[in-house]
Amino acid sequence: MVSAASALLLARFQFAFTVGVHIVFPAFSIGLAAYLAVLEGLWLKTDKQVYLDLYRYWIKIFSVVFGMGVVSGLVMSYEFGTNWSVFSQKAGPITGVLLSYEVMTAFFLEAGFLGVMLFGMNKVGRGLHFAATCCVSVGTLISMTWILASNSWMQTPAGYSIDPATGRFMPESWLAIIFNPSFPYRLVHMGMAAFLSVAFIIGGTAAWHMMRDKRKGQPISQPVKVMFSMAMWMATIVAPLQILAGDAHGLNTLKHQPVKIAALEGDWETESRAPEILFGIPNMKTEHTDYAIKLPFAGSLILTHSLDGKVPGMKDFPADQRPPSPIIFFTFRIMIALGMLMAATGFLSLYMRWRGRLFTSPLLHRLALVMAPSGFLALLCGWVTTEVGRQPWTVYGLLRTADSVSPIMLPSMAISMTAFVVVYVIVFGTGIGILLRMLSRQPEEGEHDLSEQGTASVLGTRSHPETVLSSPDHGAR
């Protein structure tokens, strides 16, 4: 029994770890592919060199990010079967089919046109190349749609029946399955999260280059200015919209998964005119949130949009159906705080833009640099909140996590966990190092195309002949 419990725990850690690493790259690809499509579109329309420069700069980042997304995603498509075989057996008729649709409508589209997008500018002409970029971008969005349909179905299952003989989920209505109650909210929230995450990476990169230029007394280059301005428009417009979308998503969760809301708010008793706990430490054993700092009425106001609205408490639900409040109480608050800071950055940039100091304000540049990873941090905190908040179920209210895991022996699980941690640290550590070095190089006016440049220029040491030809046995050829 001890070994089974440890195997379950390890399987859960492994899933959290592998999916946590994975999600960053598709989100990056979703945002960046859309940005690249916009840049190329603007270039075709205006014929301004700066848009082409930016396109060529960011596509190099995209090629690395996309590759890491593919390989970390490959892990996921097999992990369901190796570690969660009972879940796959029972839910596969629904989630497996949705995943297959994702592969057929999205993965192939992305991979099929990625080659043309990366290396084909000189082979297919501008129009077709733009079409390829758009196909890749649309592919990332389709991919997100399917995987969120699948994930949302696990949160708010609909359109199924359960086969009494085998306990399998049988699809009854595919429309109801795909457009399950939480799907539209999750789709909008995640889509905007991906765009915002990338906008803040782009804004932070631009801010860093502007600060460095200023220190060196150099003028700020046109591509840096343009990408900073675009990123800050995104923050100004999308960050507030994201707060509204998050609020709507919260109301939807309150309706369908009230105990998740109770747990992430740290509320134990059901009450109307409920306060909002700003800080505290929920204790699952004593059923109390310790050291709570409360804001009167705010809980009801935020969650129900009315002062005396009823807010659920965890005590309304059996102890074995409550998600671990101490985790999601904090991840939820970190996400909210980051969301507010992102909106604040957007407003500050709007003010500075109005005062004509968008490219000169040290305060704004410092803030944008610090906020560079904020989108991804918020996105990960949001995912932890919604996924841990689904516990103790894999299919909400129907299939328990403890009943979903494979009958795999502890040693296999321990070996794979160790292997994933070691490999991911090496591979994705190197990858992030490479990305940071690429970002630390300024986009230049007259940026080279991925298909025509020497290796060295990707990293900034522009075409020194000795670097390119430094292969030890080069002369022997």
Partner 1 sequence: MSGAAYWLPVIWTVILAAAILIYVILDGFDLGIGMLFAVERDRGRRDVMVNTVAPVWDGNETWMILGGATLYGVFPGAYSTLLPALYLPILLMVLALIFRGVAFEFRIMTRDSGRSALWDLAFFGGSAIAAFCQGAILGGVIQGVSVTKGAFNGGPLDWLTPFSILCGLSVMCGYALLGACWLVWRTTGVLEASCRFWARRLAIGLFLGIIAVSLWTPMLHEPYLVRWTDWPNILFVAPVPLLVILLAFLFVRGLQREHPVTPFLCALGWFFLCFTGLGISIFPYMVPPSLTLWDVSSPPSSQAFQLVGTAILLPIILTYTIYSYRVFRGKVTEADAYH
**Residue 169: CB minimum distance to partner 1, A:** 9
Q: Does 174 bind partner 1 (CB under 8 A)?
A: yes
Site string for partner 1, 349-378 (x = CB under 8 A): ------------------------------
442 to 461, contacts with partner 1 by CB under 8 A?
A: 450-451, 453-456, 458-459, 461
82 to 101, contacts with partner 1 by CB under 8 A?
A: 82, 85-86, 88-90, 92-101
Q: Does 327 bind partner 1 (CB under 8 A)?
A: no
Instruction: Select the span of 66-74, 302-310, 323-331, 351-359 touching partner 1 (CB under 8 A).
Output: 66-74
d(CA 240, CA 238): 6
Do residues 81 and 88 touch, judged by C-beta distance below 8 A? yes
124 to 163, contacts with partner 1 by CB under 8 A?
A: 124, 163
- Measured from the CB atom, is 116 or 358 closer to partner 1? 116
**Residue 146: CB minimum distance to partner 1, A:** 10
Q: Does 70 bind partner 1 (CB under 8 A)?
A: yes
Contacts by residues 314-322 (CB-CB < 8 Å, ≥ 24 positions apart) = 314/259, 314/262, 314/263, 314/267, 314/268, 314/287, 315/268, 315/269, 315/270, 315/287, 316/258, 316/259, 316/262, 316/270, 317/258, 317/259, 317/262, 320/392, 321/259, 321/392, 322/259, 322/262, 322/263, 322/284
Q: Contact with partner 1 (CB under 8 A): which of 115, 296, 362, 429? A: 115
**Residue 310: CB minimum distance to partner 1, A:** 39
- Measured from the CB atom, is 162 or 243 closer to partner 1? 162
Listed in sequence order, the DSSP H helices in 47-83 are: 49-83
Q: Does 429 bind partner 1 (CB under 8 A)?
A: no
227 to each of 24, 51, 202, 325, how far by Cα in Å? Answer: 21, 9, 7, 40
**Residue 282: CB minimum distance to partner 1, A:** 36
Q: Does 63 bind partner 1 (CB under 8 A)?
A: yes
* Tokens of residue 8, six digits: 């379950």
d(CA 281, CA 277): 10
**Residue 414: CB minimum distance to partner 1, A:** 11
* Tokens of residue 33, six digits: 């592919």
**Residue 198: CB minimum distance to partner 1, A:** 19
Number of residues that bind partner 1 (CB under 8 A): 88
Q: Does 434 bind partner 1 (CB under 8 A)?
A: yes
- Measured from the CB atom, is 296 or 411 closer to partner 1? 411
387 to 426, contacts with partner 1 by CB under 8 A?
A: 406-409, 411-412, 415-416, 419-420, 423
Least Cα distance to 119 among 108, 131, 106, 129 occurs for 129
Do residues 61 and 172 touch, judged by C-beta distance below 8 A? no
How many residues belong to the chain? 477
Ranges assigned E (strand) in 251-366: 271-272, 276-283, 288-295, 310-311
**Residue 382: CB minimum distance to partner 1, A:** 26
d(CA 457, CA 233): 30
247 to each of 71, 305, 383, 448, how far by Cα in Å? Answer: 34, 10, 15, 44
Least Cα distance to 230 among 38, 28, 362 occurs for 38
Site string for partner 1, 230-249 (x = CB under 8 A): --------------------
- Measured from the CB atom, is 94 or 231 closer to partner 1? 94
